[in-house]
Chain A
């Protein structure tokens, strides 16, 4: 009984502590979860602020910020105008990292970093290129002895931001793909061929196990699973390594980046072509519901820190940094957040 009382007292204190503005809750995308986890742990060490993040998926992150049940949402796909209108207030997007999607493969005898173009990737996933020794692949990889082996395409079975970036890229580089499968960033599509594995880990596992398989995963999973991954040609004709985080960060630094950063920059004119932002979503006007000025200040301080010191963690964990014009624009967005009309 005594133990129970103590436990109850501890729980009550925790609740009281949570309400004093020194704790924040967020929910959303699973792709940046490892990064956010590390950022929030370090932020807690330096400031004492407790940030709770639920990795429930981008869709749920968007829903929860619209429903105002969290301090911030997180999403790998930006909210379109239609969706933004359903929210009770203006929501801003703050980019926190750039993720790259790399083609991984398991081809006996083939070297690491084979070369791919968007068109070849699209034709593989359309089921039009079916063998590894197809002339179109061989042409890009002169000197590589490719086996007469059937290609097994592997995709994400669950709806995901990774798929959205990948199919968005395919639809930009292949009119065939755009015409028959999908246009724009879609978290799941009707794949013409192949098998689906759950999560990045499922795709990596299937590729590792299946001779002749090709898949697509976030860079960090290709590295963690020691999978061979390919270089992808960008619009300048150069073959870019998605494992090179400088190239990944560079992709976002395009001249055409809009001020609200809501853009898909796959097939960008610079950097690695299959990459995209992951965003944190917050209300521009923080005075809603029962929110206090202190709570709003805590949130904005966190966002500022994530864009400054926090960015140092990105590369350690294989995420591209927010840099260049993207960083300038992101900082501007954070400083535009207000409480009762006043800047924080």
Chain B
């Protein structure tokens, strides 16, 4: 029995191999075709929006559906501001959390903390949104008011750009922290031991031996967080204040590309309105594509030689 099985496997193996290859090529091309079809449909249905407004569709600021003006720059800007703001807040915190878990915390503490951080990633965005409205905004409003009054800005209401950044930061910390922790743990102990042997302090070990080695992986986590921040819809819609205009200051209500689509698609009545919303979908698609592409280049550049 034992002798015949390998032979049989070899016999059917080459044919099975070819079949398997065909199947995975087919499956992989389905993914590719879906992405392609998706962008084509978005472009075709949104084309009339670009046709009417030209470059003004992306760079003009007058979004006034009641009077037939559809210029989406405030939302493009809103998406950029919220995503970048969220990263600025989240990256240091997430990195600190992952270093603590991987390098400092004893096992009995590291494991539960790591588990809790991963749990944060599984919370539905509607729950984050509600938490934003009922906990985060009331808790940070005095701080927002204090900053605004010291800078001479209009008094913040609560929902606005800053609240959205803060909420997004909380939402992406688990992604960045979980991935960073994994890659920091993957740094070979030889690296650390070598640095210690040279008399490095714990901080110097992290600074010169661990972080450079792990930076490509950490950046991958950051990119994943950025992707989520750009695409997040529901939670952002609930705390950003949804004004169709460029924000006056850090605390003003504004909107993002995904929030304006979610808010208006169901009731969009005129064909111009619908095509403009789909056009925004296309812009969002392109933005995500560019961000991912840039991220890949950066990761490739930062990956240390001789590692995976």
Contacts and interface: CB of A to CB of B under 8 A. Distances in A.
A147 to B, nearest CB: 14
B91 to A, nearest CB: 28
A160 B62 CA distance: 21
B67 interface: yes
Contacts of A189: 64-66
A167 B64 CA distance: 14
Given A58-B267, A186-B66, A190-B64, A210 B243 contact: no
Interface string A168-189: 0000000000000111001111
Interface string B234-272: 000110011111000000010100010011101111000
A60 interface: yes
Interface in A37-96: 56-60, 62, 77, 83
A316 interface: no
A188 B269 CA distance: 10
Range of interface residues on B (Cβ < 8 Å): 20 to 34
A218 to B, nearest CB: 15
A21 interface: no
A217 B180 CA distance: 46
Interface residues of A, number: 36
A157 B237 contact: yes
Nearest to B244: A190
B158 interface: yes
B160 interface: yes
B235 to A, nearest CB: 11
Given A58-B267, A59-B269, A196-B241, A190 B63 contact: yes
Interface stretch (A11-19, A117-125, A201-209, A250-258): A201-209
A188 B243 contact: no
B138 interface: yes
B133 interface: yes
Contacts, number: 97
B243 A191 contact: yes
A76 to B, nearest CB: 9
Contacts of A197: 159, 238, 242
Interface string B56-79: 000000111111010000000000
A187 B269 contact: yes
A322 to B, nearest CB: 23
Contacts of B69: 190
Nearest to B269: A59
A41 B263 CA distance: 30
B158 A209 contact: yes
Contact of B263 (A158, A182, A191): A158
Given A186-B65, A206-B159, A158 B266 contact: yes
A60 B265 CA distance: 9
B263 A190 contact: no
Interface of A: 56-60, 62, 77, 83, 150, 152, 157-161, 167, 181-183, 186-191, 194-198, 202, 205-206, 209-210, 213
